[in-house]
């Protein structure tokens, strides 16, 4: 039976990668993202997992802050959807980690890199299929990097196309992405066979304990519901904003069309295409000019495009007859 525990849920993500007993999993995840010649061999978790932060949380708790054996400060987080200002926030977190290293009377040369890493279950850069972006301070003319400073990594999970049958031959970052996206769909034994490395075994142990322990499972279910509710609310807000924008655009188009005259308004509308909203607006305009009862915009937008087109054509014919 599938585990049913998704690492995308904040409770599971923090329990897997933010618990000191699972530090091997966090080290493996960091090395997969950073892919440096000198891999991380030890990590101190600065905000370890505790139940109280989830019991008190009204928002999604997603970050793991750590310091590695090379003195670098790291912030790792999971975002289930794209939010405004995400890149700026990631950069702010990295800058905060960098500044927080400086103690009173300290020397600047002691500062170590600060790295912000975000796994995003959404698309951030829609103009490219590149899933992993690595931002750093670079001289635009020479390409010279300002080493030892700020780094921001974004990993867009949906851009990876991964199959269970070939995942054992995939890169480490691809394996972790598959684990984050698909672990809930597999049984424990399947996961252990697919991911034999010790770092994955630690992560599998963690989700297995969540599935088996009543207290963990109850908290997981509550947080999963909170995430679904938040996504539903955000999607509803976006839909309302789009609808409001459409209605405002329609009203503005109607006003401009009446000012410029029926013929010019119709030509402009046809040039913009056969979008249902444009057709509905033109129908309302023609009904006004023909002194017919004006149909509500909501009613028109519910009609199929074919019916809107036929109604629009009929009203055009009536307008031409009236002008002859």
- The better pLDDT of the pair 279, 69 is held by 69
Task: Report pLDDT digits (tens) over 167-216.
Answer: 989 999 999 999 999 999 999 999 999 999 999 999 999 999 999 887 88
68 pLDDT band, cuts 50/70/90, is very high
Token pair 């049984």 in the structure block, residue? 187
Share of the chain above pLDDT 90, in %: 50
Q: What's the rounded Cα separation, in Å, for the pair 95 and 25?
A: 25
Rounded mean pLDDT, 64-69: 95
pLDDT band at 273 (very low <50, low <70, confident <90, very high): very low
Rounded Cα gap, residues 275 and 218, in angstroms: 47
pTM here is 0.69
Higher pLDDT, 280 or 242: 280
Report the relative pairing of strands 114-120 and 73-79 from DSSP bridges: parallel
| Residue of 92, 87, 88, 94 whose CA lies nearest to 150 | 94
pLDDT digits 0-9 by tens, 84-104: 888 999 999 999 999 998 876
């Amino acid at each position: 039976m599938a585990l049913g525990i998704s690492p995308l849920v904040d409770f599971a993500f923090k329990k897997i990668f933010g618990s000191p007993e699972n530090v091997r999993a966090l080290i493996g995840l960091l090395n997969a993202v950073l892919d440096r010649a000198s891999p991380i061999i030890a990590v101190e978790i600065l905000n370890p997992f505790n139940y109280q932060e989830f019991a008190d949380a009204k928002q999604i708790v997603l970050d793991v802050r750590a310091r590695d054996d090379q003195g670098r400060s790291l912030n790792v987080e999971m975002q289930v959807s794209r939010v405004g200002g995400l890149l700026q926030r990631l950069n702010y977190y990295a800058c905060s980690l960098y500044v927080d290293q400086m103690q009173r009377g300290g020397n600047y040369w002691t500062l170590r890199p600060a790295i912000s890493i975000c796994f995003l279950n959404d698309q951030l850069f829609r103009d490219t299929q590149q899933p992993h972006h690595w931002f750093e301070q670079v001289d635009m003319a020479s390409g010279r990097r300002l080493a030892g400073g700020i780094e921001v990594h974004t990993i867009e999970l949906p851009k990876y196309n991964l199959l269970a049958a070939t995942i054992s031959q995939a890169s480490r970052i691809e394996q972790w992405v598959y684990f984050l996206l698909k672990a809930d769909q597999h049984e424990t034994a399947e996961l252990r066979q697919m991911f034999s490395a010790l770092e994955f075994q630690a992560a599998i142990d963690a989700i297995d304990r969540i599935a088996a322990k009543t207290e963990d499972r109850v908290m997981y279910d509550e947080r999963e519901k909170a995430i679904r509710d938040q996504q539903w609310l955000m999607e509803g807000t976006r839909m309302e904003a789009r609808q409001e924008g459409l209605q405002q655009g329609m009203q503005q188009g109607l006003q401009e069309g009446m000012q410029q005259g029926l013929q010019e308004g119709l030509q402009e509308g046809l040039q913009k295409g056969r979008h249902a909203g444009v057709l509905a607006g033109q129908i309302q305009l023609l009904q006004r000019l023909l002194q017919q009862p004006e149909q509500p915009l909501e009613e028109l937008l519910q009609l199929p495009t074919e019916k809107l087109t036929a109604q629009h054509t009929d009203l055009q014919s009536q307008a031409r007859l009236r002008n002859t």
